[in-house]
Structure 1
Amino acid sequence: MAIYRYLFNRYGDLKWWPAESAFEVAIGAILTQNTSWRNVERSIENLKKFELLSPEKILGLDFSELANLIRPSGFYNQKAERLIIFSRFILEECNGDIKYLNKLETADARKRLLLLKGVGPETADSILLYACDHTIFVIDKYTMRMFNRVGMGWSEKYDIFQKNIMELLPHDLNIYRHYHALIVENSKNYCRSKPFCEGCPIAKICKKIYIK
């Protein structure tokens, strides 16, 4: 929580995840795999332009048309297939509403998402946290990198890393949302693959501060 406070004092509420609906959040979580958020925004803008951000509309598109619309996010054929699978899941198993997942226990909702082709732990947890109000912490490369550098690198295994972080934090939805966004922002500015430590808000407690 000390790290959280340092980061929040620097960046404040980053209003993340940017989206107009829970379904849009989920689409963004799938599209952001292996690409930058700016590319995802361009793909989502294409879908919005033609009012296609619903499972029904996505399933009504020709495959090639959908792939072309999301081309900016890369791996567009692969991601088009995943959007179709996810949209079918929402219609057939969630009564057409992603918020159906809110009613389930977190473990159950997560298990159902992980059964979908192309949905791994990070994508599933992003959907659960930001679209479905489940209090679960998202682990990504930024999170692992930052906590490793401050001397809290428990494991390279996703679920173990996540369990250890969640045991140290209050079980609070907003803190989880803010914290993940703050980690991503700080990683872009300072805690990069090659760290830029000068001016970093957590430099005082980082184990690798100013190591060349």
Structure 2
Amino acid sequence: MNSFELLVALKHQGYIKTTRDALWWPRSRTFWVVVGAILTQQSKWENVEKSIENLESLGVDSLEKLATLRMETLVIAIQPSGFYHTKAKNLHQLATQILDKFGSFDFFCEHVSREWLLDQKGIGEESADAILCYACQREVLVVDAYTARLVKGFGYEFESYQELQAWMQEGVLHHFEKIQKLYSREMSVAEVYARFHGKIVEFCKQNSKGKVVDIGSLSL
């Protein structure tokens, strides 16, 4: 098996939800991806959405407004996401650092590096790649615990995040012309990566029992 075969199997099953963003992550290409990448750590997305709604009710509609929000107010707003004191501190610091370093969200998306993101407090490999993929539309495939569990079901285990990511990306790049035909339209590598990760998450959420993924419905 390779990751291309996995993508084909997931696509034939109809993942992703049609009501989601075209790139799967809600509000892709906006600063909300940066917010969500921190808030979703050890939290359900439904709780992240509650936090985002709270922020919007406070008039937050940009990194600039987020950076000027009082810490006490920010803590209260993001409580649904859990670990709110730590996340509020990391979120405020990240928003401030982005504006200080890049001046604007658009310039950040164009010029930020993975290394810079990983140097920021509260940003690990998965969070950095989520920001690069869904906010900046870079050619980066996010791999997470769902990805590792799914491929483990087919007998594949990897020693590191980087090894799993490399294996996943290799299958897409090697069969990219076939993927274009599969979708019957031109797609960028970044879009394929975004949707592939989304398909994996959606499938695993619906077919998991604890930390075990039921792969019985996937025909490779």
Which TM bucket (shorter chain)?
Answer: 0.7 to 0.9
The yes-or-no answer on 1:53 pairing with 2:61 is yes
How far off its partner does 1:20 sit? Answer: 6.7
- The code of the aligned residue for 1:160 comes to E
8 Å Cα contact 2:29/2:136 also seen in 1: no
How far off its partner does 1:197 sit? Answer: 3.2
Segments ≥4 residues shifted beyond 6 Å: none
Distance 2:42 2:122 in 1: 12
The yes-or-no answer on 1:142 pairing with 2:123 is no
1:115 to 96, 110, 119: 119
8 Å Cα contact 1:6/1:201 also seen in 2: no
8 Å Cα contact 1:122/1:140 also seen in 2: yes
Where does residue 165 of structure 1 map in the other structure?
168
The yes-or-no answer on 1:67 pairing with 2:69 is no
Among all aligned residue pairs of Structure 1 and Structure 2, give the percentage whose two residues are the same amino acid: 34
Higher relative contact order (CA 8 A, sep 6+): 2
- The code of the aligned residue for 2:104 comes to G
Q: Structure 1: where are the runs of 5+ without partners?
A: 206-212
Where does residue 194 of structure 2 map in the other structure?
177
1:19-53 CA-partner distances (Å, limit 9, x unpaired): 17510111011100000000000000001112213
Distance 2:15 2:109 in 1: 27
Give the TM-score, by structure 2 length: 0.83
Alignment of 1:1-212 (within 5 A): 1-14=4-17, 15=21, 16-19=24-27, 22-97=30-105, 99-104=106-111, 109-155=113-159, 157-170=160-173, 172-193=189-210, 195=212, 197=214, 200-202=216-218, 204-205=219-220
- The 3 A distance-change label for structure 1 pair 46 and 20 is farther
How far off its partner does 1:145 sit? Answer: 0.6
What's the RMSD between the two structures over aligned residues?
1.9
- The code of the aligned residue for 2:121 comes to K
8 Å Cα contact 2:51/2:81 also seen in 1: yes
